[in-house]
């Protein structure tokens, strides 16, 4: 089929689904609405496969000139598909389809089912706009669109004030990042007189590396990334975002939206390569994020919170890869992470569903008998994220570690330590949930049930992908072909060095030994019958971790608090005293001027005529002298 | 020429149908006449490039403005039907008069000779005097007609004075290929002609008639005045300045900037304290005219689209708002701002349509009005008048105050207990189309580019 037609189909199908469900949804039965909603991303996925099969070069479609100024600066409503976009399309539409399917089962009893499905469709559309946009304004439109959908979906159960608060927090934190992003876009537009991404990147050739302007622009863009991709210091919204329904956590807050920042940096890799300082900043922020989030995850008891911090930590890994200029490695990890993190979240959702809403792992345990399928897929997901060979996470994480090692030993040490922590908290979660004996109340135990097929089917597909997904990017020691980075080579400007083979072997050996040790230890500690080990620790380390480094409180005292008291001061003193007066003054001037001038509009014709004559005479006078 | 003949025939037919018992045929015939006229204009444009010994022509901008005039008339005509229901009676007469006034407008925008321009102005103006006084039993309507007539005659005299000066200084009525004999006199003649047209366009300080007349005239004819007259006037000014602005000294631009600023300032100041919505919109129309005038700086044929785009945005919003006022007035008997309280709860479609029109006037993004202001101000900035841009921006923002004061009324719940009411689907559909076009042009401003350039 015509590839332009396929691109139209990919982009617009979810929007059509959203429109149909959004406008006529109230008269549909749940089944019809669910079917229509799933059709959007499914069409996109099939079209993506077809597009990929006949793909040979970048395709750009210009819908129309959006706006511009007479002096040649112009922004088009246009999309493009190149290798990087194609890969993201696979992730967005593929994982998106599975999660839509799962939602049909997970949300079927909810009153807002149709609303939920239409939001999901709108999200997919925005995400597609983000990855397909061929200029930064289009990308930004998608970027804001996913932010809006995230806000709507976190606060989906809007009757709960806490959820609304979480939604607001996510939105505000993202806005802080967006400000940086916007400023970056403005500066780019000022500097290069274009926002078209291919044109921008091709004009980078004449720029010297380390140009201060480029450094400023890239830092601003990265501030946007810290918001959307949950990096320090703007990451605290992501764990709170778990207030949304679990499929949302899987789709938006694990698999797709939060990787938008990583995508942005990879997309603009030609720009970031010119700013080594920014790359260092990205790497260090990524390291800190990965480590801090992993340590917090060690002491969380909410199954979704653990996964949320794990997501933050994994995003930190990706940022480190970006910081080492190993962009295709980061994208590779985006891909594998989408598989296994979606799997874990949906598995957790299945557990929560089976336990009628229980999320506290200290009240779980022994579920491996009651929920056999869920147990199996969750185990696969755990193995994948912990980096057990040859599952998906092993290859991508190994690649990031190698990139970090080739860059600096310190990167490697911190990252390796974080990887160990990752395995620890994941196996803790796994053993606490599925092993030992059930620690909840007797009445709830009877109600435990396995989820239905419509929820399990996507889980199996994701489990399969989590097992084999890593083979798309095997290291040199095994295969000379690295499918992902070879595919991305034309569009992503990788800058990373490779490491020696012997190092790879040593790394694997150490990994394996450590993994076995961790599994043994966590099994011993957390496959338990009583909830004793999940109680709060008395040591200060434990308390800090449980308190999530008290970051929320620090932000509260250092930023929100002062802001709020400034706000109160403004409200009580500044606003009525100065601002109101300043606003009222022009208003008053205009009003009084209006009243004063009113006699002019007297309704007496002779005065009107005199004014015309006077006006004309004044004009001629001014004109002549 | 053929298109004007077609319109004349349609107008005469409408007058005759008014005598017979087949009154329901009047509007369809008139609308068909407009369509036929547009078709005639479009297909014979190349054949009949110049008419009447070259006194009129289609070269360049005129075709855009003629198209705008006909399209605008086509939208207005069906709404006349509601006026008939109100007991006005003489539908045939008013339909005919509107069609004749369009002929005058077409002469104005395609003139190549000042005589034709003057004739066009008179044809259009006389039609407007009659329409302003259409409601014979209402004293305000009569007052509006008389006022408009006396002031209009005065302005025509000034315009004729300008024509005379022009003839003295060039020895011709033609607007191009002229030999300037007395440069200073010539400059003054252009200035006086400008002042004469500025009266028709209600630019300050020649605007005093506008609020009184707009308020007094029946609302449907206020809509005609606010749209057809403005299109014709700006079209004529464009045609005139296109040939002459370059010959006159740079000072003519300072005059334009002065008039634009004065219009925006006075329009805004006076609009602040109005309680009649029609009067408020008449002041807002003065402000908008000031903005359009900025697009005339360094008038060149390439700028046609910018002026035309602003006119399209302005006409869309004006028609929508005057129609809504018209329905509300019909229902409640007054256009006082208080009558609009709780409009959203009584008739949501009207409230939303009016809201979109008002924010478009104010220049809120995603509406045609925003893009129109953006283009015009960009133009001004391109010619190095940052101060003008800044002041215009401030005034545009200030205008939000009275627009939102009005919008606020729609969504305030009303305790008077007026039941929700409705208008027929045909009118509702047309109003919705106007709003959708406003939004569409805000999202896709270049969509009408091929039509207006």
Q: Which residue has the higher pLDDT, A501 or B430?
A: B430
pLDDT digits (tens, 9 = 90+) for A161-171: 888 888 888 88
Which residue in B252, B273, B379 is closest to A594 by CB distance?
Answer: B273
Chain A contact set for B272 (CB, 8 A): 587, 590-591, 594
The Cα B418–Cα B431 span in angstroms is 22
In the numeric block, which tokens belong to residue A590?
């205009």
In B256-323, where do the E strands start and end?
none
pLDDT of the residue at A208: 81
Q: Are residues B288 and B397 in the same domain?
A: yes
Query: How far does CA B80 lie from the centroid of its chain?
Result: 17
State which H helix or E strand residue A77 sits in: strand A74-81
Which residue in A595, A611, A616 is closest to B158 by CB distance?
Answer: A616
Chain B contact set for A605 (CB, 8 A): 147, 150-151
Directed axis angle between helix B251-272 and helix B386-411, to 10°? 20
Q: How many CA atoms lie within 13 A of A215 on its CB side?
A: 11
Q: Are residues B281 and B144 in the same domain?
A: no
Sign of the dihedral through C-alpha B326, B327, B333, B336: negative
Which of the residues A65, A584, A605 would you substitute to probe the B interface, choosing the one with the greatest number of B C-beta atoms within 10 Å? A605
pLDDT of the residue at B23: 76
Under an 8 A CB cutoff, do B398 and A586 touch? yes
pLDDT of the residue at A536: 64
Rounded to an integer, the average pLDDT of A86-104 is 90
pLDDT of the residue at A537: 63
Q: Tell me, what DSSP letter sits at residue B60?
A: T
Q: Are residues B234 and B266 in the same domain?
A: no
Under an 8 A CB cutoff, do B371 and A623 touch? no
Query: How far does CA A614 lie from the centroid of its chain?
Result: 66
B425 touches A: beta carbon within 8 Å: no
The dihedral over CA atoms of B90, B129, A607, A586, expressed in degrees to the nearest 10, equals: 80
Under an 8 A CB cutoff, do A612 and B206 touch? yes
- Nearest CA-CA distance, residue B276 and chain A, Å: 14
pLDDT of the residue at B235: 93
Under an 8 A CB cutoff, do A620 and B191 touch? yes
Under an 8 A CB cutoff, do B206 and A69 touch? no
Under an 8 A CB cutoff, do B444 and A66 touch? yes
- DSSP, collapsed to helix, strand or coil, labels residue B300 as coil
Between residues 60 and 119 of chain B, which touch chain A (CB distance below 8 Å)?
none
pLDDT digits (tens, 9 = 90+) for A16-53: 988 888 877 777 777 888 888 899 899 999 999 998 88
Which of the residues A619, A620, A625 would you substitute to probe the B interface, choosing the one with the greatest number of B C-beta atoms within 10 Å? A619
Q: Which residue has the higher pLDDT, B19 or A315?
A: A315
A612 touches B: beta carbon within 8 Å: yes
Under an 8 A CB cutoff, do A620 and B188 touch? yes
pLDDT of the residue at B89: 58
pLDDT of the residue at B411: 85
Chain A contact set for B158 (CB, 8 A): 612, 616
Supply φ then ψ for residue A67, to 5 degrees: -155, 175
pLDDT at residue B198 above 70? yes
Which of the residues A67, A586, A604 would you substitute to probe the B interface, choosing the one with the greatest number of B C-beta atoms within 10 Å? A67
Q: Which residues pair with A76 in a beta bridge?
A: A65
Which candidate, A255, A34, A245, A222, places its Cα nearest to that of A124?
A255
Rounded to an integer, the average pLDDT of A225-236 is 87
Q: Are residues B109 and B123 in the same domain?
A: yes
Sign of the dihedral through C-alpha A350, A353, A359, A362: negative
Residue found under tokens 């959006």? A66
The Cα B422–Cα B379 span in angstroms is 43
Under an 8 A CB cutoff, do A612 and B254 touch? no
User: Nearest residue on chain A to B402, judged by CA atoms?
Assistant: A587
Q: Are residues B293 and B233 in the same domain?
A: no
B134 touches A: beta carbon within 8 Å: no
B22 touches A: beta carbon within 8 Å: no
In the numeric block, which tokens belong to residue A192?
């290069």
Give this prediction's pTM: 0.73
Are the C-beta atoms of B398 and A586 separated by less than 8 Å?
Answer: yes
The Cα B173–Cα A29 span in angstroms is 74
**Other beta carbons less than 10 A from residue B69's beta carbon:** 27
The Cα A400–Cα A593 span in angstroms is 69
pLDDT of the residue at A70: 60
pLDDT of the residue at A538: 62
- DSSP, collapsed to helix, strand or coil, labels residue A63 as strand
pLDDT of the residue at A170: 86
Q: How many CA atoms lie within 13 A of B24 on its CB side?
A: 0
- DSSP, collapsed to helix, strand or coil, labels residue A79 as strand
pLDDT digits (tens, 9 = 90+) for B244-285: 877 776 778 888 888 999 999 989 888 888 889 999 999 999
A625 touches B: beta carbon within 8 Å: no
Q: Are residues B186 and B258 in the same domain?
A: no
Radius of gyration of chain B from Cα atoms?
A: 21
Rounded to an integer, the average pLDDT of A323-343 is 90
Chain A contact set for B398 (CB, 8 A): 586, 590
- Nearest CA-CA distance, residue A619 and chain B, Å: 7
Radius of gyration of chain A from Cα atoms?
A: 28
Under an 8 A CB cutoff, do A619 and B401 touch? no
Are the C-beta atoms of B206 and B123 separated by less than 8 Å?
Answer: no
In the numeric block, which tokens belong to residue A313?
């930590």
Between residues 70 and 129 of chain A, which touch chain B (CB distance below 8 Å)?
70-71, 77
Under an 8 A CB cutoff, do B195 and A616 touch? yes
Under an 8 A CB cutoff, do A605 and B268 touch? no
Where b means 16+ CB within 10 Å and e means fewer, B100-132 reads bbbbbbbbbbbbbbbebbbbbbbbbbbbbbbbb
Are the C-beta atoms of B340 and B406 separated by less than 8 Å?
Answer: yes
pLDDT at residue B45 above 80? no
DSSP secondary structure string, B65-101?
HHHHHHHHHHHHHHHHHHHIIIII--HHHHHHHHHHH
- DSSP, collapsed to helix, strand or coil, labels residue A473 as strand
A603 touches B: beta carbon within 8 Å: yes
Q: Would you kindly state where each structural domain of chain A is located, as residue ranges?
A: 330-540, 553-624
**Other beta carbons less than 10 A from residue A548's beta carbon:** 20
Q: Tell me, what DSSP letter sits at residue A73?
A: -
Chain B contact set for A601 (CB, 8 A): 208, 211-212, 270
Checking B442-448 for CB contacts under 8 A at 24+ apart, the result is: B442/B360, B442/B365, B442/B366, B442/B367, B442/B368, B442/B369, B442/B370, B442/B371, B443/B366, B444/A64, B444/A66, B444/A77, B445/A67, B445/B309, B445/B368, B445/B371, B445/B375, B446/A64, B446/A65, B447/A64, B448/B309, B448/B312
Q: Of B231, B249, B267, which residue is a domain's last?
A: B249
Q: Are residues B237 and B313 in the same domain?
A: no
In the numeric block, which tokens belong to residue A290?
């990965």
- Nearest CA-CA distance, residue A180 and chain B, Å: 22
B270 touches A: beta carbon within 8 Å: yes
Q: Are strands B50-51 and B56-57 parallel, antiparallel or unpaired?
A: antiparallel
Which residue in B195, B269, B444 is closest to A619 by CB distance?
Answer: B195
pLDDT-derived band at B175, boundaries 50, 70, 90: confident
Which of the residues B157, B266, B269 would you substitute to probe the A interface, choosing the one with the greatest number of A C-beta atoms within 10 Å? B269
pLDDT digits (tens, 9 = 90+) for B143-161: 899 999 999 999 999 999 9
Rounded to an integer, the average pLDDT of A499-512 is 81
Rounded to an integer, the average pLDDT of B350-367 is 90
- Nearest CA-CA distance, residue A593 and chain B, Å: 7
Specify the number of domains making up chain B.
2
Under an 8 A CB cutoff, do A70 and B188 touch? no
Chain B contact set for A78 (CB, 8 A): none
Supply φ then ψ for residue A196, to 5 degrees: -70, 125
**Other beta carbons less than 10 A from residue B344's beta carbon:** 21
Arithmetic mean of pLDDT over chain A: 85
- The residue range of the domain holding B450 is 250-453
Under an 8 A CB cutoff, do B251 and A619 touch? no
Between residues 236 and 275 of chain A, which touch chain B (CB distance below 8 Å)?
none
Query: How far does CA B315 lie from the centroid of its chain?
Result: 7
pLDDT digits (tens, 9 = 90+) for A593-615: 777 777 777 778 888 888 888 88
Chain B contact set for A597 (CB, 8 A): 266, 269-270
A606 touches B: beta carbon within 8 Å: no
DSSP secondary structure string, A419-463?
HHHHHHHHHHHHHHHHSS---S-HHHHHT--PPPHHHHHHHHHHH
Sign of the dihedral through C-alpha A422, A427, A428, A430: positive
- Nearest CA-CA distance, residue A612 and chain B, Å: 5
- DSSP, collapsed to helix, strand or coil, labels residue B248 as coil
Q: How many CA atoms lie within 13 A of A92 on its CB side?
A: 34
Q: Tell me, what DSSP letter sits at residue B112?
A: S
B139 touches A: beta carbon within 8 Å: no
- Most confident range (mean pLDDT) of A123-127, A400-404, A434-438 is A123-127
The Cα B209–Cα B126 span in angstroms is 15
Supply φ then ψ for residue A75, to 5 degrees: -120, 125
pLDDT of the residue at A184: 92
pLDDT-derived band at B358, boundaries 50, 70, 90: very high
pLDDT-derived band at B312, boundaries 50, 70, 90: very high
Are the C-beta atoms of A195 and A164 separated by less than 8 Å?
Answer: no
Rounded to an integer, the average pLDDT of B276-299 is 91
B157 touches A: beta carbon within 8 Å: no
- Nearest CA-CA distance, residue B273 and chain A, Å: 6
Task: Return the number of CB contacts < 8 Å for A and B.
Answer: 87
pLDDT at residue A284 above 90? yes
Q: Are residues B223 and B289 in the same domain?
A: no
Burial (CB count <10 Å: 0-12, 13-18, 19+), residue B435: buried
Task: Provide the percentage of residues in chain B whose pLDDT is more than 90.
Answer: 43
Q: Of B249, B271, B286, which residue is a domain's last?
A: B249
Q: Are residues B303 and B235 in the same domain?
A: no
How far from A170 is each of A140, A163, A177, A313, CA to CA, in Å?
17, 11, 11, 18
Rounded to an integer, the average pLDDT of B292-318 is 89
Query: How far does CA B339 lie from the centroid of its chain?
Result: 26
State which H helix or E strand residue B57 sits in: strand B56-57
In the numeric block, which tokens belong to residue B425?
């689907």
- DSSP, collapsed to helix, strand or coil, labels residue A43 as helix
- DSSP, collapsed to helix, strand or coil, labels residue A75 as strand
pLDDT-derived band at A71, boundaries 50, 70, 90: low
pLDDT of the residue at B236: 93
pLDDT at residue A124 above 90? yes
A619 touches B: beta carbon within 8 Å: yes
Residues 6+ apart with CB under 8 A from B38: B3, B67, B70, B71
pLDDT at residue A578 above 70? yes
The answer to ipTM > 0.95 is no
Q: Of B249, B270, B302, which residue is a domain's last?
A: B249
Q: Are residues B148 and B9 in the same domain?
A: yes
pLDDT digits (tens, 9 = 90+) for A373-423: 889 999 999 999 988 878 888 888 888 888 888 888 889 999 999 999 999
Q: Are residues B304 and B158 in the same domain?
A: no
pLDDT at residue B105 above 90? yes
Q: Are residues B244 and B317 in the same domain?
A: no
**Other beta carbons less than 10 A from residue A490's beta carbon:** 11
User: Nearest residue on chain B to A620, judged by CA atoms?
Assistant: B188
pLDDT-derived band at B99, boundaries 50, 70, 90: very high
The Cα A151–Cα A247 span in angstroms is 14
Are the C-beta atoms of B44 and B291 separated by less than 8 Å?
Answer: no
Under an 8 A CB cutoff, do A67 and B255 touch? no
Q: Which residue has the higher pLDDT, A609 or A313?
A: A313
Rounded to an integer, the average pLDDT of A300-307 is 87
pLDDT of the residue at A408: 85
Under an 8 A CB cutoff, do A622 and B382 touch? no
Q: Quick one: residue B202, left, alpha or beta (phi over 0 = left, psi -120 to 50 = alpha)?
A: left
């Amino acid at each position: 089929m015509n590839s332009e037609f396929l691109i139209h189909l990919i982009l617009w199908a979810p929007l059509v689904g959203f429109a149909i469900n959004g406008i006529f949804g109230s008269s549909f039965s749940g089944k019809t609405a669910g079917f229509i909603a799933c059709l959007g991303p499914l069409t996109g996925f099939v079209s993506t496969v077809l597009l990929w099969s006949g793909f040979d070069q970048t395709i750009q479609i210009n819908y129309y000139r959006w706006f511009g100024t007479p002096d040649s600066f112009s922004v088009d409503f246009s999309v493009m598909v190149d290798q990087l976009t194609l890969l993201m399309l696979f992730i967005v539409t593929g994982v998106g389809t599975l999660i839509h399917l799962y939602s049909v089962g997970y949300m079927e009893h909810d009153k807002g089912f149709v609303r939920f499905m239409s939001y999901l469709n709108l999200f997919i559309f925005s995400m597609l706009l983000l990855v397909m946009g061929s200029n930064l304004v289009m990308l930004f439109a998608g970027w804001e669109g996913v932010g809006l959908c995230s806000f709507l979906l976190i606060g989906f159960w809007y009757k709960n004030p806490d959820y609304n608060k979480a939604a607001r927090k996510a939105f505000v934190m993202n806005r802080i990042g967006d400000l940086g992003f916007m400023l970056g876009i403005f500066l780019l537009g000022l500097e290069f007189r274009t926002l078209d991404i291919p044109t921008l990147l091709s004009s980078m050739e004449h720029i010297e590396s380390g140009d201060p302007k480029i450094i400023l622009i890239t830092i601003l863009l990265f501030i946007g990334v810290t918001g959307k991709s949950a990096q320090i210091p703007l990451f605290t919204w992501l764990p709170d975002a778990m207030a949304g329904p679990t499929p949302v956590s899987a789709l938006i807050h694990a698999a797709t939206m939060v990787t938008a920042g990583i995508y942005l940096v990879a997309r603009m890799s030609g720009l970031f390569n010119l700013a080594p300082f920014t790359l260092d900043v990205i790497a260090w922020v990524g390291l800190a994020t990965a480590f801090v989030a992993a340590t917090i995850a060690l002491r969380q008891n909410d199954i979704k919170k653990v996964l949320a911090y794990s997501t933050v930590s994994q995003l930190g890994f990706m940022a480190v890869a970006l910081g080492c200029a190993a962009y295709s490695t980061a994208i590779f990890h985006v891909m594998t992470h989408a598989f296994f993190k979606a799997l874990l979240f949906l598995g957790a959702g299945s557990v929560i569903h089976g336990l009628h809403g229980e999320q506290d792992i200290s009240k779980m345990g022994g579920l491996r008998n009651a929920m056999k399928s869920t147990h199996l897929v969750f185990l696969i997901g755990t193995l994948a994220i912990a980096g057990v060979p040859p599952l998906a996470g092993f290859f991508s994480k190994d690649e990031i570690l190698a990139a970090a090692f080739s860059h600096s030993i310190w990167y490697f040490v911190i990252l390796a330590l974080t990887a160990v922590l990752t395995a620890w908290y994941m196996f803790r979660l796994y053993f606490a949930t599925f092993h030992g004996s059930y620690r909840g109340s007797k009445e709830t135990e009877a109600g435990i049930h396995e989820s239905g097929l419509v929820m399990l089917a996507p889980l199996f597909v994701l489990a399969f992908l989590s097992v084999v997904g890593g083979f798309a990017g095997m290291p040199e020691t095994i295969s000379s072909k690295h499918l992902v980075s070879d595919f991305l080579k034309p569009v992503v400007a990788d800058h990373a060095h490779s490491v020696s083979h012997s190092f790879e072997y040593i790394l694997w050996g150490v990994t394996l030994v450590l993994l076995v040790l961790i599994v043994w230890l966590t099994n011993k500690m957390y496959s338990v019958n009583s909830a004793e080990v999940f109680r709060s620790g008395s040591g200060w380390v434990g308390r800090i971790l449980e308190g999530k480094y008290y970051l929320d409180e620090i932000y509260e005292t250092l930023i929100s608090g002062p802001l709020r008291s400034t706000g109160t001061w403004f409200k009580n003193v500044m606003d009525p005293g100065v601002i109101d007066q300043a606003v009222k003054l022009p208003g008053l001037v205009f009003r009084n001027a209006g009243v004063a001038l009113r006699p002019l509009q007297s309704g007496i014709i002779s005065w009107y005529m005199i004014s015309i004559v006077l006006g004309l005479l004044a004009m001629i006078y001014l004109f002549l002298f | 020429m053929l298109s004007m003949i077609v319109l004349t025939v349609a107008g005469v037919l409408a007058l005759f149908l008014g005598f017979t018992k087949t009154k329901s045929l009047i509007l369809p015939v008139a609308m068909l006449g407009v369509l036929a006229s547009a078709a005639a204009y479009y297909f014979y444009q190349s054949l009949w490039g110049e008419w009447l010994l070259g006194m009129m022509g289609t070269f360049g901008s005129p075709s855009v403005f003629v198209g705008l005039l006909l399209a605008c008339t086509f939208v207005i005509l069906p709404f006349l039907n509601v006026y008939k229901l109100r007991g006005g009676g003489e539908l045939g007469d008013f339909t005919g008069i509107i069609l004749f006034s369009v002929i005058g407008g077409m002469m104005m925008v395609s003139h190549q000779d000042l005589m034709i321009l003057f004739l066009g102005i008179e044809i259009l103006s006389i039609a407007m005097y009659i329409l302003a006084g259409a409601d014979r039993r209402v004293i305000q309507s009569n007052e509006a007609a008389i006022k408009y007539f006396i002031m209009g005659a005065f302005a025509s005299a000034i315009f004729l004075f300008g024509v005379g000066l022009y003839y003295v200084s060039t020895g011709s009525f033609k607007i191009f290929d002229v030999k300037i004999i007395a440069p200073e006199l010539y400059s003054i003649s252009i200035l006086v002609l400008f002042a004469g047209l500025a009266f028709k366009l209600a630019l300050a300080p020649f605007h005093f008639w506008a609020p009184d007349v707009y308020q007094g005239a029946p609302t449907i004819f206020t809509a005609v005045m606010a749209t057809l007259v403005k299109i014709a006037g700006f079209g004529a000014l464009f045609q005139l300045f296109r040939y002459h602005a370059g010959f006159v000294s740079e000072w003519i631009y300072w005059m334009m900037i002065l008039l634009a600023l004065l219009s925006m300032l006075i329009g805004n100041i006076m609009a602040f304290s109005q309680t009649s919505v029609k009067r408020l919109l008449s002041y807002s129309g003065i402000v908008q005219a000031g903005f359009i005038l900025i697009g005339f700086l360094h008038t060149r044929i390439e700028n046609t689209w910018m002026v035309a785009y602003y006119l399209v945005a302005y006409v869309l919003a004006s028609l929508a708002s005057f129609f809504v006022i018209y329905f509300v007035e019909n229902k409640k008997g007054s256009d006082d701002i208080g009558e609009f309280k709780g409009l959203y709860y009584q008739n949501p479609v009207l409230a939303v349509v009016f809201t979109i029109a008002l924010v478009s006037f104010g220049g809120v993004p995603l509406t045609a009005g925003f893009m129109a202001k953006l283009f015009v101000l960009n133009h001004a900035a391109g010619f190095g008048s940052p101060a003008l841009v800044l002041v215009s921006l401030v005034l545009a923002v200030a205008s939000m105050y009275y627009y939102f004061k009005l919008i606020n009324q729609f969504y305030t719940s009303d305790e008077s207990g007026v039941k929700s009411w409705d208008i027929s689907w045909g009118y509702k559909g047309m109003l919705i189309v106007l709003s959708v076009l406003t939004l569409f042009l805000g999202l896709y401003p270049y969509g009408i580019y091929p039509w207006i350039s």
